[in-house]
Structure 1
Amino acid sequence: MSQPVDIAALANLLQEAAVKEILPRFRNLESGDVRTKSEAIDLVTEGDEAAERLIKAKIDTIAPGAVFIGEESVAADPALLDKLADADLAIVVDPIDGTFNFAAGLPLFGVMASVVANGETVAGIIYDPLGNDWVIAEKGSGAWMCRPNGSQERLSVTAGVPLGSMVGGASTAFYQEADRRVVMGNLAKVRIATSYRCAAHEYRIFAAGHLHFLMYQKLMPWDHLAGTLIAEEAGAYAARFDGSRYLPAHTNGGLLLATDKESWEALRREVFTV
């Protein structure tokens, strides 16, 4: 399909933000450089804000006239999020996904961007600053691991397995307590369920064939648009809990991704029904 944005240029911009604003601060944050947003596990650092400022300042050279939707920009002006559904073209950015890990000095964080055209996600990028590589997808063109030496590898989710053999990621923090107890009990039906506190890396390893499912309840676009497109282009089946397609305008309704539709239905029925 015709791509409205130079994806290579956008990928390089994420790398530039990481080199200039994120990596110099990794394991080098002072106490005043980390602040709480909505709760103790919801953090923002100087690295998040500086990286988003750099990306925002240069995005118009890559996508002239695009609406810029950044996690920290929306934190400052929540009404900005309402522009996404009706935008002809929008760039959605998470300057540091996995801020909790970044602030704790854990090497598990990423930079994410997606391109939304007329209400559809048409491209997604997840950059790993420490590995210095990108996972990229354009709608209809597959999902690819792109390394700094120019080599590329097409990604594919793994084959489906029985429920009791599944290994996956499940973010249960945003359930009400009673529902969380049910879901966490149900997760005993799978082999392993974990959370890396970093959707960027969860999507990367899922698309590369190392997990069988991912589940999220809170759907902010900077967290999930890029990863969902990448997963689908790698062959995954993705839908909200009611079975409907996940679209850029959605911020609730849960999201479940699996290696195939049959696995999705088994997970929804046996694990994520409350």
Structure 2
Amino acid sequence: MSFSRADLDRLAAILAEAADAEIMPRFRSLEDGGIREKTGALDLVTDADEQGEWRIRDLCAKAFPTALFVGEESVARDKGLLDRIGGADLCIIVDPIDGTSNFAWGLPLFGVMAAVVAKGETVAGLIYDPVGRDWRKGLKGTGAWAESATGRTRDLAVAKPDVLSEMTGLTSWYLMPEPQRSRTVANLTKTKASFNYRCAAYEYRLIADGLVHFSLHYKLMPWDHAAGVLIHAEAGGFSALLDGRPYDAMTHEGGIISAPDRATYDLIRRELVG
């Protein structure tokens, strides 16, 4: 099943409507009990996550009635949804608030993400910043672009390759198991600098915009990565799992490196991960 630019814009409008109706009114205004832990203090869910996802789900059901809907909060209730992604003719994967901890803490560094997967292949990606009201969009085979609230667009392009000592990157080393965790942290000193914003939406924006060279993520839930990997690829980048296999939305374990090209990926995997 094809997914057109008009379809992408329709899905983008759904994300923006849900953000306006359910997410932004709750930013810095969550009521008592509106923030809850899932697996720990750094894994949170808020009323805005849940209500935002339900609004997106209901709007998608009207706009794309045959599509399978897979959202982060929906999977929390029914993990079997993950097993259906690869077999669906069309699947819409949504993270209603990526960067929930930032949102809950009142930090304006979060995003709404959606990926479209057709028969196991990611064909479109959206990253929306409801604070700045702008987008990063990608459509397989068409390219990736930034889009402002006024509709102004510019093409995205990843950073140029560089020597490791001059590279900046984004890493989620704290999610790695030992001894890989300690080894990677020590190896990061070989780079110019590394950061973590606890928000894949913003981290994929940065690498697709060419503002940093690479990202090294470990937790692979599809709502965190499918959209960003597609946008980064359409901006000219290369991504693969730590063992060299291609990434897809059906892979939920292990780590992923995104880099300007295959040679840089090989360098980062060899020098940072080991």
Instruction: Please give the TM-score of this superposition, normalised by the length of structure 1.
Output: 0.97
Write out aligned runs for 1:120-135 (5 A): 120-135=121-136
Give, as a single letter, the amino acid of the residue that structure 1 aligns with 2:198.
Answer: R
Residue in structure 2 matched with residue 165 of structure 1 by the alignment: 166
Write out aligned runs for 1:107-122 (5 A): 107-122=108-123
What is the deviation of 1:61? 2.2
What is the deviation of 1:116? 0.4
Residue in structure 2 matched with residue 40 of structure 1 by the alignment: 41
CA offsets, 1:21-60, max 9 Å, x none?
1111111113300000011110000000000010001102
Residue 248 of structure 1 pairs with residue 252 of structure 2: no
Residue 183 of structure 1 pairs with residue 188 of structure 2: no
Q: SS at 1:102's partner residue?
A: helix
Q: Report % sequence identity.
A: 49
CA offsets, 1:202-258, max 9 Å, x none?
101110110100011111000000000000000111101111110111001311001
Q: SS at 2:189's partner residue?
A: helix
Residue in structure 1 matched with residue 28 of structure 2 by the alignment: 27
Greater mean alpha carbon deviation, residues 156-165 or residues 24-33 = 24-33
CA distance in 2, matches of 1:2, 1:75: 29
Q: SS at 2:179's partner residue?
A: helix
Residue in structure 1 matched with residue 175 of structure 2 by the alignment: 174
CA distance in 2, matches of 1:197, 1:41: 9
Extract unaligned runs of 5+ from structure 1: none
Residue in structure 2 matched with residue 3 of structure 1 by the alignment: 3
Q: SS at 2:11's partner residue?
A: helix
Distance 1:81 1:2, change over 3 A: closer
CA offsets, 1:99-143, max 9 Å, x none?
000000011000000110000000000000011011100001110
CA distance in 2, matches of 1:3, 1:89: 9
- Contact 2:180-2:273 at 8 Å conserved across structures: no
Give, as a single letter, the amino acid of the residue that structure 2 aligns with 1:7.
Answer: L
Greater mean alpha carbon deviation, residues 190-199 or residues 168-177 = 168-177
Instruction: Please give the TM-score of this superposition, normalised by the length of structure 2.
Output: 0.97
CA distance in 1, matches of 2:118, 2:272: 34
Extract unaligned runs of 5+ from structure 2: none
Write out aligned runs for 1:249-264 (5 A): 249-264=250-265
CA distance in 2, matches of 1:69, 1:58: 13
Q: SS at 2:41's partner residue?
A: coil
- Aligned residue pair count: 273
